Amino acid sequence: MEYIIAIGTNIDREKNIKFALKRLKEEFKILAVSSLYETSPYGYRNQPNFYNMLVKISTTLQPEEVLEKLQAIEQEAGRERRIKWGPRSLDLDIVLWSGGKIKTERLTIPHYDIKNRLFFILPLLEIEGDIELDGENLFYLANRLLPYQGIKKIDFPRV
């Protein structure tokens, strides 16, 4: 199965992006890596900008098992959950899954807010092309969000 994993950090950004890529490569087969983007905070605004990117992985694990591994990697990076959408050393989210949709108490795929976050849409365009999300293509969503969300591509070595 294939998954699109979002990586986000605004604490020790370069160190935590490198750590996340290294750990994801150890746990899963990496199929594609997006560019790295610097983004304005989403939700809680009184914090530093984030680094965000997407990674496409392949694994035989089911979604809940992938979530467990991602949360373990977050904990290794010192993730603390104090403020919703607040500062974090590492945030790893399952954005999409080749198995389609899932909604459990712990997990919703596609990500519940995927269509409103440019830091998901632009990297997803790179990895998957102009696919549709619930009847709206990524190019349309990007054009809708670009005027409202600060985002800048960052030079960063790929996996």
Tokens of 13: 């950004």
Q: What is the CATH number of the domain that holds 51?
A: 3.30.70.560
Question: pLDDT tens, 24-42?
Answer: 999 999 999 999 999 988 7
| Annotated catalytic residue within 13, 23, 93, 117 | 93
> Residue 85 has what pLDDT?
63
Tell me if residue 91 is catalytic.
yes
Average pLDDT for 62-74: 96
Is residue 159 scored above 60 in pLDDT?
no
Of 73-82, 131-140, 144-153, highest mean pLDDT:
131-140
- For residue 29, the enclosing domain spans 2-154
Q: Measured between alpha carbons, how far is residue 66 from residues 12, 28, 43, 93, 100 in Å?
A: 24, 9, 26, 10, 15
Q: Is 130 noted as a catalytic residue in this protein? A: no
State the pLDDT at residue 51.
96
Q: Are 82 and 15 in contact (CB under 8 A)?
A: no
Taking alpha carbons only, the member of 43, 30, 32, 41 closest to residue 8 is: 41
Asked, for residue 62, whether it belongs to a domain, the answer is yes
DSSP-derived 3-state class of residue 40: coil
Contact 151, 122 (CB under 8 A): yes
88, 113, 134, 155: the active-site residue: 88
